[in-house]
Amino acid sequence: MSETSFLGHEFKLYRDTADSFGSPTWSEVTRAIDVEPSLERTSVEVLSRASNWKKVRAGMIEESLDIKIGYRKDGTTLNADVTEFESSILDGTTVHLATADGVIATTGTRYRHAEWVVLTKSKPEEMDNEAVITYTLAIADTDNDPATTTVP
């Protein structure tokens, strides 16, 4: 089975407007210019007198998400999605988001969803003649683990 690689601007980003992990209502974050998910597993060194080899075991999984949002100098940057990101960084609230390799309501689309907390917000910077703000998110400490779904 071959894997298809997607560049950040080809991912779709969705926010759960119902705030319900079990039965979300997805709304596309249309201001997202670039979406860059990152998935990494740590390793744990295993020491044994029975072997001269350094060995490791798979450790915890770490996931992060960088989202570039178009910034408008006319003051209309804030919309419902950006307001959620702002609340998350200021109040520590979670945001339920999904990253998808296509339109989330289409048969065969794979998407990954999780509850996130915003850790950083960059200053506006130029990207392709447009001002953008980058938000960096990490998995929030909730009762729900991230999940991957394929739309039937």
pLDDT at 73: 64
CA angle 139, 142, 148 (to 5 degrees): 55
Neighbours of 62 (CB within 10 A): 12
SS (H, E, C) 8-65: HHHCEEEEECCCCCCCCCEEECCCEEEEEEEEEEEEEEECCCCCCCCEEEEEEEEEEE
**pLDDT tens digits along 33-51:** 889 999 999 999 999 889 9
The pTM for the full model equals 0.83
pLDDT at 105: 86
Measured between alpha carbons, how far is 113 from 142 in angstroms, rounded to an integer?
A: 13
- DSSP single-letter state for residue 70: E
The helix/strand/coil state of 148 is strand
The helix/strand/coil state of 98 is strand
All structural domains of the chain, each given as residue ranges with its CATH number in brackets, are 8-150 (4.10.410)
**pLDDT tens digits along 105-138:** 889 999 999 999 999 999 988 777 778 899 999 9
Q: Round the average pLDDT of the chain to a whole number and report it.
A: 87
Residue 109's closest CA among 9, 10, 40, 41? Answer: 10
pLDDT at 7: 45
